[in-house]
Structure 1
Amino acid sequence: MNVKLLSAALATSALFAIAPASAQGVKIGILNDQSGVYADYGGKWSLEAAKMAVEDFGGEVLGQKIEIVSADHQNKPDTAVAIARKWYDVDGVDMITELTTSSVALAIQDLSREKKKIDIVVGAATSRITGDACQPYGFHWAYDTHALAVGTGGALVKAGGDSWFFLTADYAFGYALEKDTSEVVKANGGKVLGSVRHPLNSSDFSSFLLQAQSSKAKIIGLANAGLDTANSIKQASEFGIVAGGQKLAGLLLTLAEVHGLGLKAAQGLVLTEAYYWDRDDKSREFAERFFKRTSRMPNMIQAGTYSATLSYLKAVKAAGTKDTEAVAAKLKKLPVDDAFAKGKVLANGRFVHDLYLFEVKKPEESKKPWDYYKLISTVEGYMAFPSAAESGCPLTR
């Protein structure tokens, strides 16, 4: 063979060898905390929910196999970006979802904009994701700090909890949750007496809780999540804070943390979730299948990951292509109605759906395993989330 022809053939072979695997399939990445403070909050259970979505969809789309990859970002934005960059550039990942931890989600938003790839945030909370940090291919699915503030914060102020002190996780999520809840408290006639910030994954909350106790605020707002919230509640009990007349507000508390605490410690807590396994027939059917695989009931992060994954695959099918622009457009056009929620996606990428205000049952009120919540009220989607025009997203101006 001519030397030049041989060289050209080898070069062509090399190009095919390094072509992203996703060229022959659809690849979805689950990127979250699988070993740290949020491991129960989403963790490997979110991965299992995504697998369920792929199976329910049929395992392939547009005649191509659907593959899921996962990784632990350890709540470090630089680690998350390094993983995601390799996924996008080398491994051919088409979409990344879950993305627990707001600082991580914001970093992946920037990378996804640069790479023109879709990300669907489920586990992270900051409302900036579809606000000032929005991007054309970014979506926010389960809840956000604005919705939690309207649900839990608004309800407690109206019930007489008109003075607040915040115990806040010292990173983007905590700041956003404190800010959004403070605004709702003040808008409803309440006042904020102060706040204190604690590091992520703290083990000792004593000094922070003593400051909250000495503030004499009626409500101590826990602007944290996962094990930080659970440990805050446990140590607050040891200090006699609730017994002394102050009330704890778990601003981001899910079924996973309530289960870890147990009803004796968690009883009476008011919280907002977008999903509860025992709410209706559709949520129960999904939860029972999830339980058979995991021996636990799903929370809103895990059910939300199922919904995000399923919605992405439906958008790919409707678009007839994996092209990012076409799929993003379909995600914003197609209605959502699944085991997690029913609603629509706005122009800024915010999935708007109802949320629910719950009170944790007393031990004697629980009639069966995982029977933890009683419904107080429904927070309708249009109240929970701002419109696209009001969100601060530059895309909607």
Structure 2
Amino acid sequence: MWTHRSSAGRLAAGAAGTAAGCLALLLAGAGGAAAEIPNKHVKLGVLTDMSGFASDSTGRGSVVAAELAAEDFAKELPGVTIEVVHADHQNKPDIGAATTRRWLDQEHVDAILDVPFSSVALAVNEVTRNSKAMFIASGPGTTELTGAKCSANTVQWTYDTWALANGTARAVTEAGGRNWYFLTADYAFGHALERDASAVVTGMGGKVVGSVRHPPSASDFSSYLLQAQASGAQIIGLANAVGDTISSVKQATEFGITSSGQRLAALLMQLSDVAAVGLKDAQGLYLTEAFYWDLNPGTRAFADRFAARMEGRRPTGNQAGVYAGALHYLKAVKAANSTDATVVAAKMRELPTDDPLFGKGSVRVDGRAVHDMLFFEVKSPDESKGPWDFYKLVRTIPGDQAFRPLGEGGCPLVK
């Protein structure tokens, strides 16, 4: 049995200046297995984009996902309060780091979840390193979190640039799309997507005929798209994200690029992005995701619960990653009888992962959560049977093939 205990949102003090809300799930009764958990209290902090251009794919939906995980695991920790708080990092590394320090030093947060944007995630990664708190990164894509910057306290759950680029580039090239041109966001994340996808294309005998880089949050993609069109490439690889991907897909349709026979391959695109573009313009787009709400009975059941709290919206991969990562963390807390990251991190790597959204998998020593990835084609309006019915599954990429091999990342924890 559980009951909700909530408190009103408040304005946090200090440099972060971010709003934090709180949901507590309080279970009656005592439980011997939880006796070592300090104060019989576990506190999860969702550090996310509540107001910026990634708020649709993370934001409030990530908070809801964490709440659902807390509710689902509450019966496994009788007598323990599982509390969920959240804050907006405003897509700024300094605010993300300051919020993390305050949470750890003053508010005793045990695990930090989500954290979209790689620059913010890398800042949080350093604050939590050698602390007593876990960082479960479902939002960022940088492979540095499981590479040179890996930390024993960090688990990267949903995806990374290697998995996205490898999944899409490999599947499209195998299907005959052998000549590529890249439209790339001019910052580290975009560069990594282009680099990793290019390596796959050329390694499979394909050819990269050119690329062009655009500033982040660009509004006019006309000159970049015309260069891509003039290249004659079969595939235009979109090595960008969120608003830039949405705008480039819409404008590619306006210029008749896709109707002329060239195809678009999005190296990072989520359900919320497809919703923003619309099936009329997004149809035929190739993409790789870690999760899709309409995949099986387990994903559909979670999506229905999520939608009931999110005005009918279906969860994105990032939001699903918050749920699954939080659930695995709580399993490790129970097994370790502790919230101290020193022992919880070891348990997260020791225990196999298994949840209704990502299925069976594992957490490697470098912190990479290994699970299947999914290669999709976006449906046409005629193929869609209703709201949020956007994808048709082309292939499943097994977890042992989906992510960068353990020995190639340069993680100091790998011996």
**TM-score above 0.5, yes or no:** yes
* Shift, 1:23, TM fit: 5.5
Structure 1: distance between partners of 2:229 and 2:78: 58
Q: Hey, what's the Cα distance between the residues in 1 that align with 2:57 and 2:241? A: 8
> How many pairs does the alignment contain?
377
| Residues 95 and 62 (structure 1), Cα distance of their counterparts in 2 relative to 1, 3 Å cut | farther
**Whole-angstrom distance in 2 between the partners of 1:62 and 1:328:** 22
Counterpart secondary structure, 1:366: coil
Letter in 1 for 2:124: I
2:334 maps to amino acid: K
Where in structure 2 are the equivalents of 1:65-80 lying within 5 Å? 65-80=81-96
Q: Normalization by structure 2: what TM-score?
A: 0.87
Q: Deviations over 1:145-186 (max 9, x none)?
A: 111122111111112211222222232221221111111111
The structure whose Rg is larger is 1
Question: What one-letter code is carried by the residue in structure 2 that aligns with 1:371?
Answer: D
The one-letter amino acid of 1:326's match is V
Preserved contact between residue 62 and residue 318 of structure 2 (Cα < 8 Å): yes
Structure 1 counterpart of 2:137: 121
Are residue 344 (structure 1) and residue 369 (structure 2) matched?
no
Q: Please tell me whether residue 355 in structure 1 is matched to residue 385 in structure 2.
A: no
CA distance in 2, matches of 1:262, 1:316: 42
Letter paired with 1:168: T
CA contact (8 A) 2:133 2:340 kept: no
Alignment partner of 1:331 is 2:338:
no
Larger % of helix: which? 1
- Tell me, yes or no, if structure 1 residue 387 matches structure 2 residue 405: yes
Give the fraction of aligned pairs with identical amino acids, expressed as a percent: 54
CA distances 1:251-299 after superposition (whole Å, capped 9, x unpaired) = 1111111122211111101111111111111111111111111111112
Helix, strand or coil at the partner of 1:189: coil
Task: Determine if contact 2:131/2:341 at 8 Å carries over to the other structure.
Answer: no
Structure 2 distance, partners of 1:147, 1:339, is: 21
Please name the residue that 2:288 is paired with: 272
For 1:314 and 1:374, locate their aligned partners in 2 and report how far apart those are by CA, in whole Å: 33
What amino acid sits opposite 2:379 in the alignment? Answer: K
Deviation at 1:116, TM superposition (A): 4.7
Aligned ranges 1:106-185 → 2 under 5 Å? 106-185=122-201
Conserved 8 A contact 1:97-1:120: yes
What is the CA–CA distance in structure 2 between the aligned matches of 1:59 and 1:171, rounded to whole Å?
44
Q: Give yes or no for the alignment of 1:301 onto 2:318.
A: yes
Deviation at 1:199, TM superposition (A): 2.8
8 Å CA contact 1:59, 1:66 repeated in 2: no
Among candidates 241, 255, 269, match of residue 253 of structure 1? 269
Q: Is the 8 A contact 2:132 2:340 kept in 1?
A: no
After superposition, what is the alpha-carbon deviation per residue over 1:43-84, rounded to whole angstroms, capped at 9, x for unaligned? 111111111111111178473311111111122112211111
Cα distance in 2, alignment partners of residues 107 and 166 from structure 1: 29
1:229 corresponds to = 245
- CA–CA separation in structure 2 for the residues paired with 1:200 and 1:104: 16
5+ residue gaps in structure 2? 1-36
Paired with 1:114 and 1:213, the residues of 2 have a C-alpha distance of: 49
Alignment of 1:171-210 (within 5 A): 171-210=187-226
SS at match of 1:123: coil
Task: From the superposition, tell whether residues 393 and 281 of structure 1 become closer, same or farther in structure 2 (CA, over 3 Å).
Answer: same
Letter aligned with residue 385 of structure 1: F
CA-atom RMSD, angstroms? 1.8
One-letter amino acid matched to 1:312: Y
Matched, 1:40 2:56: yes
Q: 1:219 Cα deviation (Å)? A: 1.3
| SS of aligned partner of 2:105 | helix
Please tell me the residue identity of whatever aligns with 2:288: T
Extract unaligned runs of 5+ from structure 1. 1-21
Q: State the secondary structure of the residue aligned to 1:115.
A: coil
Structure-1 residue corresponding to 2:383: 365
Determine the C-alpha separation between the residues in 1 that align with 2:114 and 2:138: 5
* Residues 62, 320 of structure 1: 8 Å contact kept: no
Question: 2: CA distance between counterparts of 1:144 and 1:278?
Answer: 22
1:194/1:291 CA distance change after superposition, 3 Å: same
1:175 & 1:23 partners in 2: Cα distance?
A: 44
Cα-to-partner distance string for 1:8-62 (whole Å, 9 max, x where unaligned): xxxxxxxxxxxxxx96322111112121121111111111111111111117847
In the alignment, the residues of structure 1 paired with residue 130 and residue 216 of structure 2 have an alpha-carbon distance, to the nearest angstrom, of 29
Contact 1:40 1:226 in 2 (8 A): no
Deviates more, 1:363-372 or 1:267-276: 363-372
The 2-side partners of 1:227 and 1:163 are apart by: 26
Q: Show the counterpart of 2:307.
A: 291
Q: Which moved more, 1:122-131 or 1:59-68?
A: 59-68
Match status 1:321 vs 2:338: yes
Partners in 2 of 1:329 and 1:115 — Cα distance?
14
TM-score normalised over the length of structure 1: 0.91
* Structure 2 partner of 1:219: 235
Matched, 1:104 2:120: yes
